């Protein structure tokens, strides 16, 4: 049985999503998101204010706790919506978009690369309340690599995974 690269990536992403949907770190809950190289990932961020009379003023996304990669200034939402978004020119550029239309809001990263795999932190600053931080671990499944020396994957785990997915 031959396995195509796309089928392998689909099987690997499915298997990974079944294993551990959420984990807990020393800093609290970490949401798990998985995708494939050249795919798209949606990283969730809850913008719900702690009280009804509060509102979001700023959202900043960090990669690996240190590098700011995206910011959304909600104070400018009505006056200059295009200028309210800032993207890291090397790490995100035109591959990222933060949308508040979904609930929870999402940072969408497209054309994923293996180097995008990381823990991302979404910091939400409110007008009255303390800031809220949430974490998302993005796992990027790499390109399918054929076994060396013409070895076959037949009889291994991959064909059985595809059987389960296709049933």
Which stretch, 62-66, 83-87, 158-162, 163-167, has highest mean pLDDT?
62-66
Cβ atoms of residues 30 and 137 within 8 Å: yes
How far apart (Å, rounded) are the C-alpha atoms in residues 66 and 128?
Answer: 25
Task: Answer yes or no: are the C-beta atoms of 35 and 140 closer than 8 Å.
Answer: yes
pLDDT at residue number 24: 43
pLDDT (0 to 100) of residue 65 = 86
Indicate whether this model's pTM tops 0.95. Answer: no
pLDDT in tens, 66-114: 899 999 998 865 555 545 889 998 899 899 999 999 899 999 999 999 9
* Per-residue pLDDT reduced to its tens digit, 2-42: 444 444 444 444 333 333 344 444 457 899 999 999 999 99
Distance CA 19, CA 40 (A): 20
pLDDT tens-digit map of 111-154: 999 999 999 999 999 999 999 999 999 999 986 655 556 555 55
CB 45 within 8 A of CB 118: no
Q: Which strand (E) or helix (H) includes residue 161?
A: helix 157-166
Contact present, 141 and 15 (Cβ < 8 Å): no
Domains and their CATH numbers in the chain: 23-141 (2.60.40.10)
């Amino acid at each position: 049985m031959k396995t195509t690269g796309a089928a392998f990536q689909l099987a690997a992403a499915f298997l990974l999503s079944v294993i551990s949907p959420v984990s807990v770190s020393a800093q609290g809950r970490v949401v798990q998101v998985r995708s494939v190289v050249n795919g798209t990932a949606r990283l969730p961020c809850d913008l719900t204010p702690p009280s009804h009379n509060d509102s979001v003023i700023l959202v900043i996304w960090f990669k690996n706790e240190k590098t700011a990669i995206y910011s959304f200034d909600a104070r400018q939402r009505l006056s200059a919506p295009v200028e309210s978004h800032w993207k890291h020119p090397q790490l995100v550029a035109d591959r990222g978009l933060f949308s508040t239309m979904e609930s929870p809001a999402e940072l969408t990263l497209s054309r994923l690369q293996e180097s995008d795999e990381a823990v991302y932190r979404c910091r939400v600053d409110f007008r009255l309340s303390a800031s809220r931080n949430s974490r998302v671990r993005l796992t990027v499944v790499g390109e399918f690599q054929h076994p060396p020396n013409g070895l076959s994957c037949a009889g291994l785990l991959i064909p059985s995974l595809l059987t389960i997915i296709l049933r």
